[in-house]
Structure 1
């Protein structure tokens, strides 16, 4: 029985703690970091109500200190994926039938637990497991994840209240059902918040979920599961599996109850998912929802009217916060000739002030890249730039060292070729490539920006001339799903800048907005006629 129309108003964004010297949050965080470094975590799979430990362990080590053992995770196989699907489907009917206010309050409680009791833990595990400095971990693992949970409750509440018009003598209503089957959530290493959002946004809508986090995010992912369980999430609603991607796909994409995938990761993997799902369409009960946020080759273009200090700061933060391991990170920059010398000089000077090292030293701005595979790939591009010779040079950084951790120095490459490889390919690391253009060829350069990359995720225009801003907004309309004016192309906030891009960057379903939640719902229209007609004849037929 429903006893009221329960609505959840728009929340405020979670305040960002600053971890200033002597602050309570800094003292609490350092205490948890010390405790975690003294323990060895044992991370299981979560299937139904069971913590599954297979005994097939892989070590978890900080990317910035790979000799230290943080813990181990247990590897599963195809059998565990099948069990996770069964657990999800067994939980489905009861979960979908739970009144909305009870479903909603589980996620609101989880948000409050993350904001209080578990805040230091979720930040610390992100710092150690993913090599994020305290500020980057705070805005991600605490604030953004809390915001996803609270704002999604509001957005879904808003959807449920959207009802059709009813004519005379009838009532029309709309039901927003969960999808028929289970949803697969596949999340990346770089944002703990994405790891939390992909499964919970679908589950909030009444769906049941099989969740595969990146292996390099499992240290913080298991905290999310602990929080959800403490918040009252029923067993089987979200099941965390630890398996290799091909094993996951082979089981999930062959299953008749596969209802959709919520994905963030590489464009290549997403394309493979799409192709496999398409080939298996005859096996499914319904058309699966395919939602993905993938790669980016994000740009900053400065106009001749730009303030050089604004340009430099946007590049320094946009390209090198979290070692450039954001799908939104500035990776290519177009600098007009009239301010190029000043911009390069100030940027090089600024980078020299950036300290690099462990996340536990709060004075470090730069930490390690996620793993050896990423390190080797980035080093390859840097070495190639050093050997290139004419037209390509490294003007800042370029040093790489993996003896203690996977450290890539913030690196700036300058090229005279706007189609040089590092201007076109996604690197996903602290490497920025600059191209200096003729200040009188601004419009031609806008066309170059639009045509250089297959991606369309984020971008920024830096200009004081309002006509130049307007020109960029219009010319670059389709090459960035998130576009910034006089700012860096990173840092989207839930409820303020819904995030997602098109072209090779994904389906643009805008995480952090009402648009994303529609994808996890299946609407049913119900019309009830109060006094049914009893004769088939219409008035026009009465003519004699």
Structure 2
């Protein structure tokens, strides 16, 4: 079944609910504009609470089906997930091109982080599903127990706009592997690309209602979080929004996984290979135009080489090519929306007002209107108490801070943050860098670079979130346990 839409203008009129393209309940539409040109890319219905009710009801019916998804064998679920992975891959280039226009993601980044990554996630968790022991026997003091692993139930999956397809599959893949059913709520900024994922789900032939996809805004998302038909929530987004989700789930005693913001540190040690660090800066500190929660946006360097590090970072930031994200020579594309650009420019103004000095960028580039561009911006003469040092900006802005003394001082400065998501350590001595990384209080640290490893847990501490995704551990949040004592 194909999406009932005008493919030339991407004007959608329905949502994938219960295995069918279901007409939206409300008359309003959301129009998505290209972040580079401002032209309209298409539109989709503005979801209502009634649409969420339909989606949750469909997921509950699929969960309760006595011959349905939740009681399929792990191998049957794995085969269906592999079909979905192949269907996603077939839409890879279309997804990358659309995300480049919706989000501003440079095309090569969009290709690697969208369908390719999503398909890898689905295949990885298909393998996890095959190895899942649904019931095991354990000896007890008298008799024995049977320990059952069961799907948690209907899960609400709420994903942001910065990596819309891959972050959806961060959650969808382990949920499917567990036997749970899902209501996926993509962000309205990337609602159009969510229809390509919905097409893939439709093509893969999963049972009706196992995956329901309803792009919607914050108010409708909040309704989904509190919906009585939902058994678990998994949310990726800002810390402020995550705090509201956590409060609601706490009041309902509903399990929740939160992947939130970050203000990660790049710890540069005094023996750093400066050319290696500078060459990796685009991917470590400015990925996806800075619209990445794991970006190392606090660069910490020893005072003895601080001037050299500042010069290297400034020169590299000035060298980046800004332009159409669909051009493979573009390093930095536009931001996702005018609201996001206003937010980033507001932080730059605050940084200057608080005494920070800009050595690169700090404004809008010439000749790229009406694109939503902000120049890669580098601040020095800052201290840990400044707003731009403490808060997540989510744009192409980095700050450089010196530290005195040795590695202990670097670790102390790196840990001086309310966040605890990620970070990097840069040194010619890998053993020394690993020792420093072990003492940095974050969920993830890269040594002389960083890449997202599907096979390892991903999660933050403090204001960066609760729980973990990825790795074999990522399925734990979608399982519940039952113990049967046998006398």
TM-score where L is the length of structure 2: 0.90
Query: Distance between the aligned counterparts of 2:293 and 2:221, measured in 1?
Result: 24
Q: Partners of 2:71 and 2:403 in 1: how far apart? A: 60
- The CA deviation at 1:135 is 1.6
C-alpha distance in 1 between matches for 2:388 and 2:32: 31
Where does residue 486 of structure 1 map in the other structure? 448
Instruction: Write out aligned runs for 1:170-249 (5 A).
Output: 173-180=146-153, 182-191=154-163, 192-249=165-222
Counterpart CA distance in 2 for 1:208 and 1:109 is 17
1:443 is aligned, of 393, 403, 408, to: 408
**Alignment partner of 1:475 is 2:439:** yes
Q: Who is 2:3 aligned against?
A: none
Is 1:293 paired with 2:259?
A: yes
Q: Contact between 1:175 and 1:523, CA under 8 Å: does it hold in 2? A: yes
Q: Cα deviation per residue 1:250-293 (whole Å; 9 max; x = unaligned)?
A: 354151x3211011111111111121222234xxxxxx221111
How do 1:61-460 residues align onto structure 2 when only pairs under 5 Å count? Answer: 61-66=33-38, 68-94=39-65, 95-115=69-89, 117-160=90-133, 163-165=136-138, 173-180=146-153, 182-191=154-163, 192-250=165-223, 252-255=225-228, 257-281=229-253, 288-389=254-355, 392-400=356-364, 403-438=369-404, 440-451=405-416, 453-460=417-424
After superposition, the C-alpha distances for 1:131-158 in whole angstroms (9 at most, x for unaligned) are 2122211221122111110111112322
* In 2, Cα distance between equivalents of 1:114 and 1:337: 48
What CA distance in whole angstroms lies between the structure 2 residues aligned with 1:224 and 1:40?
14
C-alpha separation between the residues in 2 aligned to 1:267 and 1:416? 23
Alpha carbons 1:321, 1:365 under 8 Å: kept: no
Worse-matched range after superposition: 86-95 or 38-47: 38-47
Distance of aligned partners of 1:162 and 1:342 in 2 relative to their CA distance in 1, 3 Å threshold: farther
Output the CA distance in 2 between the equivalents of 1:318 and 1:43.
39
* Counterpart contact for 1:309–1:343, Cα < 8 Å: no
What SS does structure 1 have at the residue aligned with 2:466?
coil
Listed as ranges, the gaps of 5+ residues in structure 2 are 1-5
Output one character per residue of 1:385-433: Cα deviation in whole Å (capped at 9) or x when no partner. 33444xx210111122684111011111112423322111000110000
Segment drifting more, 214-223 vs 442-451 = 442-451
Select 2:473's aligned residue among 509, 512, 515: 515
CA RMSD of aligned residues (A): 2.4
Contact 1:151 1:512 in 2 (8 A): no
**Corresponding residue SS for 2:378:** strand
Output the CA distance in 2 between the equivalents of 1:251 and 1:151: 28
Q: CA deviation at 1:160?
A: 1.9
What is the match of residue 51 of structure 1? 22
Aligned residue for 1:455, secondary structure, equals: coil
Structure 1 residue 456: Cα displacement: 0.6
Give SS of 1:333's match.
strand
2: distance between equivalents of 1:504 and 1:223? Answer: 32
Q: CA deviation at 1:441?
A: 4.4
For residues 458-479 of structure 1, the C-alpha deviation after alignment (integer angstroms, 9 at most, x for no partner) is 0111122467425413431xx2
Counting matched residue pairs gives 474
Q: 1:137 to 1:450 in 2, by over 3 A?
A: same
Q: What is residue 505 of structure 1 aligned with on the other side?
A: 464
Aligned counterparts of 1:521 and 1:454: Cα–Cα separation in 2:
30
Most deviating of 368-377 and 96-105:
96-105
Q: Quick one: distance in 2 between partners of 1:162 and 1:464? A: 48
Residue 177 of structure 1 and its aligned partner are, at CA, apart by: 1.3
Residue 471 and residue 196 in structure 1: after superposition, are their counterparts in 2 closer, same or farther (change >3 A)?
closer
Q: 1:91 Cα deviation (Å)?
A: 1.6
Give the match's secondary structure for 1:183: strand
Whether the 8 Å contact between 2:382 and 2:389 is mirrored in structure 1 is no
Aligned residues of 2:70 and 2:180 also touching (Cα < 8 A): yes
**Distance across 2 between alignment mates of 1:307 and 1:481:** 25
Q: Is this contact kept in 2: 1:195–1:221, CA < 8 A?
A: no
The answer as to whether partners of 1:351 and 1:410 remain within 8 angstroms in 2 is yes
After superposition, the C-alpha distances for 1:180-227 in whole angstroms (9 at most, x for unaligned) are 4x2111001111201233234213312122211111121211111110
CA drift at 1:231: 0.6
Answer whether contact 1:208 1:238 (CA < 8 A) is retained.
yes
TM-fit CA distance, 1:166: 5.3
2-structure distance, mates of 1:327, 1:162: 37
C-alpha contact (below 8 Å) 2:77/2:176 kept by paired residues:
no
Question: Does the Cα contact within 8 Å between 2:158 and 2:221 map onto a contact in 1?
Answer: no
